[in-house]
Amino acid sequence: MRKVIKSIFVIFLIVVIAASLLTSCNMQEKETVTLLGTNAAGNDASTFFVINPDGTLEPFEIPGNKVLVVTDMDITFRSASPERTVFVQLYLFNVNFFPYFQDVTVADANGDGGLHASLQTGVRIGPNTVFGVRASSGDVVDPAGIAVTLHGYLKQN
């Protein structure tokens, strides 16, 4: 009976050790973040604040050893041309001129609108990269009064 108990104990220890090794291997901690950017008079936002769990805001900067992965974006706007298409774009300004993500929505009869977008694979943004969101209507009146919320996570670079 003692040998059976010792055998069960040894097997239990092996399983516990293996499980702890497997959970710590190749796992990168992800720190979830929600960012807020606003521009009461314009159609773009490139300054963002972290929304803390208690609702307070702090200026956001990507730490030097991490990347920001944006997985979702919400935007609201006003003062666009009524019932016209509005392009919403996520830019990495110091990488290239082209947007890394773009979607479209239509302003309502008052020129107000919004958009929720899930970025399937996420957009990776490295440290020291200037990024922003722009809402534009092309050849008609651009929206103003935008508010942008970016959802994602920080992870080791």
The per-residue pLDDT for range 91-133, each reduced to its tens digit, is: 987 766 678 899 999 999 999 999 999 998 899 999 998 899 9
Backbone angles phi, psi at 94, to 5 degrees: -95, 20
Amino acid occupying residue 107: A
Tell me which H or E stretch contains 22. helix 2-24
- The beta-strand segments (E) located in the chain are 31-39, 44-45, 49-51, 57-59, 66-78, 85-92, 101-106, 113-125, 131-136, 144-156
d(CA 65, CA 58): 19
CA-based angle 142:74:29, to the nearest 5? 140
Domains of the chain: 30-156 (2.60.120)
Each of the 157 residues of the chain gets a pLDDT tens digit; together they read 555 444 444 343 344 343 443 344 334 578 999 999 999 999 999 999 999 999 999 999 999 999 999 999 999 999 999 999 999 999 987 766 678 899 999 999 999 999 999 998 899 999 998 899 999 997 788 999 999 999 999 999 8
d(CA 86, CA 71): 21
d(CA 34, CA 14): 40
CA-based angle 67:73:78, to the nearest 5? 135
Q: Could you count the other beta carbons within 10 Å of the beta carbon of residue 76?
A: 17
pTM above 0.85, yes or no: no
